[in-house]
Structure 1
């Protein structure tokens, strides 16, 4: 995942080790990766047809990690942040702030 790649790069930098060579180049966009697996994972972003489709709302995803995060944050209500007006839950604070900024549509008068 991108987080793991950044973390690995930070670990290498901290120890003074050099990162592995990026020998596997994407034929679509010229990005290069140190392993075949990372190239294969990246290659899915170029697919015309999404590899994963949410069975609940129909939203398409090219990467499994994005699909799993979507289901967990949107449909399973495991979000740590909830709107004080309407109770909708969000997995990330920035999503709650965006929701608040746009107006959640809840009527504060309904709290009676």
Structure 2
């Protein structure tokens, strides 16, 4: 089971999208062990509940990307957080929203 972020223009298109990023429980725990302040990481905190769906709109994604960039420095092994950041950057470039689904 993973929390999947699906890139799509509209929620009705998420089942057709092949662009997704899976956040496993271990990575999720690592993110929130570092992003403890909801005030400092408000968009990331929309994904705090691993078992709940969430929507991150295109207009919010640049701020989410900035939150991830700040958080990257707190990781020793940065591969996953950088991949997550690149995924968000691609969604911005494509003009899509992100839909988190707890599968």
Q: Do the two structures share a fold, i.e. TM-score over 0.5?
A: no
Instruction: Report which structure shows greater RCO (CA 8 Å, sep ≥6).
Output: 2
TM norm structure 2: 0.23
Q: Which has the higher strand share?
A: 2
TM norm structure 1: 0.22
